[in-house]
Structure 1
Amino acid sequence: MTEPDATAIGVLVVDDDPLVRAGLVMMLGGGTDIRVVGEAGDGAEVLDLVDRLGPDVVLMDIRMPTTDGLSATEALRAREHAPEVIVLTTFDADEHVLRALRAGAAGFLLKDTPPAEIVAAVRQVAEGRPVLSPSVTRRLIDRVADPEPDRRRARALEQLGTLNEREHAVAVAVGHGKSNAEIGATLYLSVPTVKTHVSNILTKLGLNNRVQIALLAHDADLLTPARDHRPR
């Protein structure tokens, strides 16, 4: 097997099922630009392994015996310079993926995702681009009951109200799952300008990634096409 390049994307695989871990390690080990730096069978091991191994991306299972993947993701992403996290889920069984996304996970993958797509997802989040299908994400978000929708909407609107008009429009477009190129075409902006707006939004709102921008736009109920999205 070809030795991975020293600049390869380092991945930590976290899953309590040894067979799942072995499968992930095998599928990620086929190229030279990705290397598995370590494995863990429980979320309780994650922080120490991240400190010792310095991965770029963590593939995180949700259901684990001692510390679940949601708690581990929250603890990890609360740190500075944390690696990106991709949550592994069976979807129908796990209704708490939204919590991981709010904590700063870069996205989620179903455990039966084709190997090539998992490899591509690791490369994508390592570049700072989240892994989310807008249609699947919308279904996931909509199925999570919110006990206080009005309060959450008010908080989200207050946060988004700190953005200027162009940033607000970009945030809503991110919520619709548009790429930078698509946002640029819609708002007549260059891709570098869109990237600048996204960066400014993240900084102003104290968010980790585009996923959290999208969730905020959803919480504010700004993703209905016919709605006037600007706060008055």
Structure 2
Amino acid sequence: MTADSSASGRPITVSVVDDDPMICQAMSMILNDYSGGRVTVVSTSGNGRDAVEQARAEHPDVVLMDIAMPGGDGIEATARLRRLPDPPHVLILTSLSPKDTVERAAEAGAEGFVSKTDAPEEIIDRIIGACEGRPQYNPASQRQLLADLHAHRPLTRRDEARALLDTLSERERQAVLLAAEGLTNQEIAERMFTSERTAKAHLSSASEKLCMSRVQIAQLVGRADLPSPLD
């Protein structure tokens, strides 16, 4: 589709989506007047719903998609565009990179970001680059994507640790949580109102189920970040 545009010499067709008519007008002027015939704007729209319908009818090569708009945000519209039979490339049109936006946009199928404050040639280069199959994430969006991934990674490790602990019985779970606090078998027994032999049996059973030593279980409990039992 867009690769053929470049090869055939015909302009790359673009649809601009933003609920601010001034932004649509400015982007249209930049792309039509500064691209030297390489890019042409075929339509503009003010919400995601209209953008999808226009793309279905016009088959633009690229859609520049704003994020916050009426009728569903731009990321939802991006996902709908990418499910079309002949989907356009989508670049998110934004002046900011709010938390989680970059990751959500990538998951929806967006191939990069275009800042509303970028120089005209940079915007045009990003559109051409997307058509050539090159992801167009500027340094700010790359930093945000990495920040989002790092922010989610500890939660994933915590959830994995909690899921492992959930495989234990209630009494085994209580025993390992107390052991992770550094309590001896006798102290664990006293806290659980049972015998030391029974407390030790709970810990041994938990160790066998998890295939972990007492030290490894303590580390697992630390990652799970759970409240102390019987408080």
> Is the TM-score greater than 0.5?
yes
Equivalence map 1:34-183=2 (5 Å) = 34-93=39-98, 95-133=100-138, 135-144=139-148, 145-146=151-152, 148-150=155-157
- In 1: Cα distance, 2:68 partner to 2:91 partner: 14
Looking at structure 2, the residues matched to 92 and 86 of structure 1 have their Cα atoms a distance apart, in angstroms, of: 13
Distance in structure 2 (CA, Å) of the matches to 1:57 and 1:152: 38
SS in 2 for 1:49: helix
Per the normalisation by structure 1, the TM-score is 0.58
In the aligned structure 2, how far is the partner of 1:37 from the partner of 1:107? 21
More helix by share: 2
1:104-147: CA deviations, max 9, x gaps?
111012221111100111111112211123x4344202333428
Instruction: List gaps (5 residues or longer) in structure 2.
Output: 1-7, 161-231
Number of aligned residues:
148
Q: Give the SS at the match of 2:54.
A: helix
Matched letter for residue 14 of structure 1: V
SS in 1 for 2:25: helix
Counterpart secondary structure, 1:29: helix
Q: Does 1:25 align with 2:32?
A: no
- In the other structure, the counterpart of 2:10 is 7
Unmatched 5+ stretches in structure 1: 154-232
Contact 2:56 2:84 in 1 (8 A): no
Say if 1:47 and 1:138 are closer, same or farther in 2 by CA, change over 3 A: closer
| 1:6–1:142 distance in 2 versus 1, CA, 3 Å | closer
Change (3 A) 1:124 1:142: closer
Whether 1:16 aligns to 2:19 is: yes
Code of the aligned partner of 2:129: Q
Q: How far did 1:92 drift?
A: 4.5
Kindly state the Cα deviation for residue 32 of structure 1 after the two structures are TM-superposed. Answer: 1.1
Asked if the contact 2:61/2:131 (under 8 Å) is kept, the reply is yes
State the TM-score, normalizing by the size of structure 2.
0.58
CA contact (8 A) 2:11 2:38 kept: yes
Q: Matches of 1:82 and 1:26 in 2, distance apart? A: 24
